[in-house]
Amino acid sequence: MKIISANFEKKDSHTLAVYEAGGGYAAARKALSMGGGAVVEEVKKSGLRGRGGAGFPAGVKWGFVPKGVDQPVYLCVNADEGEPGTFKDRHIMEKDPHRLIEGIIIASYAVGIHTAFIYVRGEYVFQIARTQRAVDEAYAKGYLGPDVMGSGFALDVVIHRGAGAYICGEETGLIESIEGKKGQPRPKPPFPAVVGLFRCPTVVNNVETISALPFIINEGAEKYASLGTPKSTGTMLFSVSGMVEKPGVYEQEFGVNFWEFLEKRAGGVKGGRALKAVVPGGSSSPILTADEARSATLDYESLAEKGSMLGSGAIIVYSEDVCLVRALAVITRFYAHESCGQCPPCREGTYWLHRIVKRIETGAGTMSDLDLILRVCGNMRGTTVCVLSDACAMPVESYVRKFRSEFEEHITRGGCRFPAETG
Ligand SMILES: Cc1cc2nc3c(=O)[nH]c(=O)nc-3n(C[C@H](O)[C@H](O)[C@H](O)COP(=O)(O)O)c2cc1C
């Protein structure tokens, strides 16, 4: 079933005219007549979980915003899309920006927010232009501004460009960045819902989370909750890449067999090769062996049971001829580059993990390096202000534990046996 991507194939789907012709903005009108509390309850009942990575229930998060405070409350829509392998929010902004804006109206009204920011990575030049045009259209039609749809509710939407730092996707790094500071995460608690942007209560939600709201309000929480599984309700956009026949973004209801989904929708492994492994939820998620991928279902619970996570829904497929040591060297280089440096275990750990993995890849590693890697990972987990450190340590540990023989072979052979173009 298509909810988020329902309009993706329509001609001029990014325009207000096409969005409204398909029933767009009816949900915002309905929400504005329901009362904020009822909207929050509806979202809680829907079971909608955040699509930015952690899968936290959206309505519950909104419920943490203190009531009756003498301060503005802000919404920050997280469009940083920094997790390697993830490329779904850009599709929403490019093909259906009005769905996002309608979702912003619904969330803002529900929580009592009058200023919403869309924090988007600066590289998304085209998507920024499209979304800005949609925001302008919404203002011109009176759907944003001092009197949204004649309801008396005021809402401004500001698009804020980031400069392409992964750490600015972390919610408090994002908040610091909007405040004009270096994007360094803040210690939590206090959580942003209580002390966030400009020290005011702030809701941070991913683009896709917010874009699910028009359906939930239009069709009702029960309809949404009837899709998927009891704990993973609705659908999710999956960014599928790597060694598959048809890489792309696919919307899928939760609960189907993980590998059947990849075979049916993405055409299975490229060129009929054998499957070696799958990264299920972006580069931070622990890797799955082929057997684990075949027996998993596509939902939060099943992947947690397998010791991994659904994360941002970024699935990367590795075929038999992909070198996992080289793949891990690329991943560790990314985290070493993106660590903001404020916490020593992350700053030093990501740097050293990359150096050690890289030396194994180039044939200069020793067997003791493997235990050294695991020791470094142990020192990086749960010891820092944000989880970028864990996001590096978790995949590294899983690659080394599950595919240790491949690392050992690099060490004994003094290099890689896989062809450079796939490895
Ligand atoms: C290092 C790091 C990078 C992150 N990058 C993103 C991102 O690019 N987009 C995103 O939506 N969430 C990202 N997150 C998660 C956010 O901190 C936050 O949980 C999320 O935006 C909340 O929205 P949700 O509840 O709708 O998922 C990141 C987290 C970490 C630790």
CA of 170 to the centre of ligand 1 (A): 5
* Burial class of residue 258 (count of CB atoms within 10 Å of its CB; 0-12, 13-18, 19+): buried
Measured by CA distance, the residue closest to atom 11 of ligand 1 is 52
Question: What's the pLDDT tens digit per position in 352-381?
Answer: 999 999 999 999 999 999 999 999 999 999
Neighbours of 54 (CB within 10 A): 14
Residue 261: give its domain's CATH number.
3.10.20.600
Flag whether 34 is in a domain: yes
Distances (CA, A) of 81 to 100, 167, 208: 15, 11, 11
Question: What's the pLDDT tens digit per position in 29-73?
Answer: 999 999 999 999 999 999 999 999 999 999 999 999 999 889 999
The pLDDT assigned to 47 comes to 98
Q: Which domain holds residue 303?
A: 235-319
- Whether 297 shows a pLDDT value over 90: the answer reads yes
Determine if the peptide bond prior to 230 is cis (ω within 30°): no
Final residue in a domain of this structure, among 225, 254, 274: 225
Final residue in a domain of this structure, among 264, 288, 319: 319
Q: Are residues 194 and 304 in the same domain?
A: no
Q: Are residues 367 and 285 in the same domain?
A: no
Residue 400: give its domain's CATH number.
1.20.1440.230
Flag whether 8 is in a domain: no
Residue 200: give its domain's CATH number.
3.40.50.11540
Q: Are residues 304 and 335 in the same domain?
A: no
Measured by CA distance, the residue closest to atom 22 of ligand 1 is 205
Flag whether 419 is in a domain: no
User: How many domains, the chain?
Assistant: 3
Q: Are residues 293 and 182 in the same domain?
A: no
Question: What's the pLDDT tens digit per position in 225-258?
Answer: 999 999 999 999 999 999 999 999 999 999 999 9
CA of 237 to the centre of ligand 1 (A): 15
Question: What's the pLDDT tens digit per position in 210-222?
Answer: 999 999 999 999 9
CA of 168 to the centre of ligand 1 (A): 9
Flag whether 11 is in a domain: no
